[in-house]
Amino acid sequence: MSTEEKAHLAAFAFPFGSHPTALFHLVQRLAAACPQVHFSYFNIESSNKKVLSRLDTTHSNIKIYHVDDGVPEGHVSSGNPMEFIEFFIKATPANFSKRLEQVEKEMGTKATCLLSDAFLWFSGDMAQERGIPWLAYWAAGPSSISLHLYIHGIRAKLGNDDGQIQNLDQTLDFIPGMSAIRASDLPVEILQINGLFSHMLYNMSDTINRAYVVLNSFDGVDSVVECDLKSKLKRLLNIGPFPLPKALKCTEDQSGCLSWLSHQDAASVAYISFGTILTPPQPELVALAEALEEKQVPYLWSFADNSKRILIQGFFERTGRIGKLVEWAPQTEVLSHPSVGVFVTHCGWNSTLESILGGVPMICMPFFADQMINRRLMENVWRIGVGVQGDFSKSGMVEALDLVLWKDEGNKMRENIGRLKERAYMAVAEKGSSTEDFKSLTTKAKDI
């Protein structure tokens, strides 16, 4: 048996939102690059089902395992999305360590490397106890992880004893590369550590500098922040942007999005999606729908939440001639289609990258976590997007559509995003910075 054949990388997923899919996709890339290495991917069963339904799973050197989700038997959901996250957190780390030990016994091979979602900070302790490397995948961008590293300084400078921000407009210019970010952009978890989820991220802030941190990002997206991160972390590996177009199974276009787009004028369509976790509240949905209808903007709306779709059912019925409604779109391909002129987005990190790869400017409707930071970067730093004035009002939405689709500002944004797109493609080209960082990552995966 060669040394590489003894290598066994165990990957631990955070099973919510786009996190498990992104981690699985990373495991797939590694499995393709290191065919001799064994990969075991651990996630809760319900999330494994979703991940597998959306991705191609042809690599024979990956095995998928379920871990306990912590949900009590017979539990009836209260409808609060945090409850399943909290059940899961309570079940960690025992659910992962127990299952890993069973798998190691079955395989007869101990894990030689641990790759985890960065949220799962206890993986650092497990790796240390076993004397193996810890690779932590941070599913968002460089600025948001940087804020977590500065958590103590931020809390001391901005918060009062209750963790409340005193001056919402204050910029974070005391952190390298953050002068455009305001206190009001910070996710609640940075300022308050109430609750299991915030506590988990707080623990991560204190352990992450021990990891090889892997980002779905590329050199130059935020040079000052990256440089600072490199000085603070054991190693920063920018291996993105990924997934690149054509990486997903849904390129088959089952929903007919791409063929519908091909009948629309160039740069005329608003593509709308708010990611995998949240549907905006009714007033915001109504404002957006009314603005699209008033301006007769052709739209492609990815809307999975059946219970909320009913809220603007009349709009969908009246505007069926100019729009298309789907439950799930092949987003990467949609954003690379020449008919798409604007992306109305919640500013999730993957959506942001996919829009950059497609060269499509954005209308930003952020809600939580890193999304307000991404909005600020798009609007004030990269100048590739615009926020909605007046608390997501109809008039604010009309103004934003007007600006991006028909005004000169929109063209300027397209030029700016074109430059970022070029840099992104250079990073993933042969000998590009992300390609080189990915090679370093494979070396860690093969190492025993």
Catalytic (active-site) positions: 19, 117
Query: Exactly one of 219, 370, 379, 437 binds ligand U2F (CB under 6 A); which one?
Result: 370
Binding letters toward ligand U2F, positions 8-47, x by CB under 6 A: ---------xx-----------------------------
Total residues binding ligand U2F (CB under 6 A): 21
Site string for ligand U2F, 120-139 (x = CB under 6 A): -------------------x
Selected from 127, 329, 360, 427, the binder of ligand U2F by CB under 6 A is 329
65 interacts with ligand U2F by CB under 6 A: no
Binding residue for ligand U2F, selected from 28, 264, 371, 434, defined by CB under 6 A = 371
Q: Is the CB of residue 427 less than 8 Å from the CB of residue 434?
A: yes
Between the CA of residue 76 and those of 36, 80, 88, 308, 334, what are the distances in Å? 44, 11, 15, 21, 37
70/366 with CB nearer ligand U2F: 366
Please state the closest distance from residue 81 (CB atom) to ligand U2F, in A: 11
- Which CB, 17 or 177, lies closer to ligand U2F? 17
Q: Which residues of 248-287 are buried (b: 16+ CB within 10 A; e: fewer)?
A: bebeeeebebbebbeebeebbbbbbbbbbebbbeeebbbb
109/251 with CB nearer ligand U2F: 251
Site for ligand U2F in 186-225 (CB under 6 A): none
What size, in residues, is the chain? 448
CB of 340: closest distance to ligand U2F in angstroms?
Answer: 13
Closer to ligand U2F by Cβ: residue 103 or 237: 237
Among 369, 388, 405, 445, binds ligand U2F (CB under 6 A): 369
Smallest separation (angstroms) from ligand U2F to the CB of 369: 4
Question: Of 48 and 332, which has the nearer Cβ to ligand U2F?
Answer: 332
- With 0-12 CB in 10 A as exposed, 13-18 as middle and 19+ as buried, what is 137? buried
CB 174 within 8 A of CB 382: no
Quick one: which of 140, 363, 373, 397 contacts ligand U2F (CB under 6 A)? 140
Which residues from 230-289 bind ligand U2F, rule CB under 6 A? 273, 275-277
CA–CA gap between residue 31 and residue 39 (Å, rounded): 7
Q: How far apart are CA 272 and CA 395, in angstroms?
A: 18
Query: Nearer to ligand U2F by C-beta: 87 or 328?
Result: 328
Work out how close the CB of 395 gets to ligand U2F at its nearest, in angstroms, rounded to a whole number: 27
Cβ atoms 22, 76 nearer than 8 A:
no
CA distances from 54 to 68, 299, 320, 431, 442 (A): 22, 24, 27, 30, 24
Closest approach of Cβ 11 to ligand U2F, in Å? 16
Nearest to 357 by CA among 409, 417, 413, 299: 417
Nearest to 420 by CA among 363, 372, 377, 388: 377
Q: Which stretch binds ligand U2F (CB under 6 A): 41-49, 165-173, 345-353, 376-384?
A: 345-353
Contact with ligand U2F (CB under 6 A): which of 189, 354, 379, 399?
354
Q: Does 48 bind ligand U2F (CB under 6 A)?
A: no
Nearest CA to 165 among 188, 149, 142?
Answer: 188
d(CA 347, CA 178): 18
Among 43, 331, 339, 355, binds ligand U2F (CB under 6 A): 331
Q: Is 159 exposed, middle or buried (0-12, 13-18, 19+ CB in 10 A)?
A: middle
Of 134, 242, 301, 349, which lies in the binding site for ligand U2F, with binding defined by CB under 6 A?
349
Report the residue from 87, 316, 328, 425 that binds ligand U2F according to the rule CB under 6 A: 328
Q: Give the DSSP letter string of 254-297.
A: TT-HHHHHTTS-TT-EEEEE-TTT----HHHHHHHHHHHHHHT-
Task: Compute the distance between CA of residue 334 and CA of residue 258 in angstroms, rounded to an integer.
Answer: 7
For residue 314 the two structure tokens come to 């009349």
DSSP structural state of residue 159: B
Residue closer to ligand U2F, measured from CB, 34 or 181? 181
Q: Closest separation between CB of residue 73 and ligand U2F, Å?
A: 28
Element holding 86 (H helix, E strand): helix 82-91
302 binds ligand U2F (CB under 6 A): yes
* Nearer to ligand U2F (CB atom), residue 189 or residue 293: 189
| Least separation in angstroms between CB 189 and ligand U2F | 11
Of the candidates 61, 69, 13, which has an alpha carbon nearest to the alpha carbon of residue 39? 61
SS3 302: strand
- Name the site residues for ligand U2F (rule: CB under 6 A): 17-18, 139-140, 273, 275-277, 302, 328-329, 331-332, 348-351, 354, 369-371
